[in-house]
Amino acid sequence: MVKNIANFDTNIKPTWCPGCGNFGIWAAIKNTLVTANWPPDSVLVVYGIGCHGHMVNFLKTYGFQALHGRPIPVAMGAKIANQKLNVLVVAGDGDTYGEGINHLISAARGNHDITLIVHNNETYGLTTGQASPTTEKGTKTKSTPLGQLEVPVNPLTLAIVSGATFIARGFAGDIDELADLIKKGVDHRGFSLIDVLQPCVTFEKIHDYQWLRERIVKINPKKHDVANKIKALELASLWGKKIPVGIFFEEARPSLTDQLPQLKNQTLLEKKVEKANLEKIMKGFC
């Protein structure tokens, strides 16, 4: 029985900047794990490279820190090896929407049963403030001193058209609401994306807590049909004076591991590896 968030604390203190949005996401994830009643040894969290990746030291579960842009395929492989394991991915906007964008599309298309939580602060915070794939056009950063020339990636619309079956956006400044979204994402059987608006108070001075709170509008579940893909795309395309948060899209579709006949009776982890004689096969190449 998981009693409280202390079950998921380590003896290492967070090293994030004071006021960083990572603290809110960290708290929301722990709240979710308690609500889901998942013991620490039943959870694998795969991390990317970035400020968010330091959570591998602060969150007491099985953890694996992947190469930059590669946490999603690691999580996909872990879920196929042991579909009984609860698998989360904690990554950044650079990790996911830049170097790893092909993996995002692949995971969504295959409907892999993993939950992806993206720390989206529109900057490369760990390397002190370069433009990321979600940086708005015209923004001046260390890597774009004359202003960002490219339009930003819209991760929600990309995930929807790629086949993801649960799409949501949360805000690091609202821990309870974010924890509720993450819980719904982990309860969903299939690929879940929770894109989190996460202020970087040190290197991204535009989209701070006040700027976001003035624009965030919660999606009314009574007025929005989450099964309507066209409406979800329209809602996910809004950005500026109004920024919707909540669940944009959800549909039921078999996950990849549900469809693999090899996993019907037991996990790959539980299967015995039988010895094979390769001599006859090798002679064919001689």
Asked if the structure places residue 137 within a domain, the reply is yes
Q: Are strands 62-65 and 192-197 parallel, antiparallel or unpaired?
A: unpaired
CATH classification at residue 66: 3.40.50.970
User: Is the Cβ–Cβ distance between 109 and 163 less than 8 Å?
Assistant: yes
What letters, b where the CB count within 10 A reaches 16 and e where it falls short, cover 226-238? beeeeebbebbee
pLDDT tens string 181-206: 999 999 999 999 999 999 999 999 99
Average pLDDT (204-211) is 95
Give Cα 189 to chain centroid, integer Å: 15
Asked if the structure places residue 268 within a domain, the reply is no
Contact residues for 220 (Cβ-Cβ < 8 A; gap 6+): none
Query: What value does the mean pLDDT of the chain take?
Result: 95
Asked if the structure places residue 264 within a domain, the reply is no
Asked if the structure places residue 206 within a domain, the reply is yes
Q: How many domains does the chain have?
A: 1
Q: Which domain holds residue 92?
A: 5-259
Asked if the structure places residue 167 within a domain, the reply is yes
* Residue 1 pLDDT: 61
pLDDT tens string 31-54: 999 999 999 999 999 999 999 999
User: Is the Cβ–Cβ distance between 59 and 26 less than 8 Å?
Assistant: yes
Q: Are strands 243-250 and 166-171 parallel, antiparallel or unpaired?
A: antiparallel
Average pLDDT (104-125) is 97
Asked if the structure places residue 205 within a domain, the reply is yes
Three-class SS state of 128 = coil
User: Is the Cβ–Cβ distance between 123 and 52 less than 8 Å?
Assistant: no
Q: 279 versus 76: which is more confidently predicted?
A: 76
Residue 216 has pLDDT above 70, yes or no: yes
Contact residues for 30 (Cβ-Cβ < 8 A; gap 6+): 5, 8, 9, 59
Contact residues for 65 (Cβ-Cβ < 8 A; gap 6+): 46, 47, 48, 49, 53, 56
Asked if the structure places residue 122 within a domain, the reply is yes
